Amino acid sequence: MRPWTAMIALTVVSIWSAGCGETELDHTIDVERVHTLWECGQWHTVDADGHQGTRDVWTLEELEAGAAFDFRFDAYTLPNRFEIDYPRGTTVVDTGWRGSSWYDEDDDYPGGISGPGHGDFQNLFELSGADEFEVRVFGAAPGTSWTYSVRCRS
């Protein structure tokens, strides 16, 4: 795995569809890291805490075309939002805010809480052409923590 790099105050704007209209969210990425998947068949886990936003870029140069990708996550109690792009720039997953339903009416989480803090996606995408994907994790509250894992299968 390559060492991660930090990038301060990179702003990302995304659109959140909340059922009663769209709301523009301004997310700040305060940590950026690069990871390399060298082989399929095992889970690779990433975690963080206390960050407003994290961007992880996963390079896939060493993998065979056709590999299928799985993703699992846990936002614990404080809500976090997970977004995955493959290829970069094309969102294939946006979990919405995931965490305790206690935060459902909190204005920091537009659209409310869309589910419990944990979940998974099987066969998220198949490697074809693009040799990297991106995972973005956003938290609206200080002290948030989360974990996610990715796996490829050939």
pLDDT value, residue 52: 80
Structure token digits, residue 141: 């509250």
Cis amide leading into 110 (omega within 30): no
Strand partners, 39: none
pLDDT value, residue 29: 79
Q: DSSP characters for 89-110?
A: TSEEEEEEEES-GGGTT-TTST
pLDDT tens-place values along the chain, 154 residues long: 333 333 322 323 333 333 333 334 456 778 899 999 999 999 999 998 767 889 999 999 999 999 999 999 999 999 999 999 999 999 999 999 999 999 999 999 999 999 999 999 999 999 999 999 999 999 988 888 999 999 999 9
CB contact at 8 A, 64 and 137:
no
- When the candidates are 2.60.120.380, 1.10.10.10, 3.30.70.240, 3.40.640.10, the CATH number that belongs to 10-16+24-153 is 2.60.120.380
- Backbone torsion region of residue 41, taken as left when φ is above 0, otherwise alpha when ψ lies between -120 and 50, otherwise beta: left
Interatomic CA distance for residues 38 and 79, integer angstroms: 31
pTM of the model: 0.81
Q: What are the C-alpha distances in Å from 148 to residues 5, 84, 104?
A: 18, 12, 22
pLDDT value, residue 27: 63
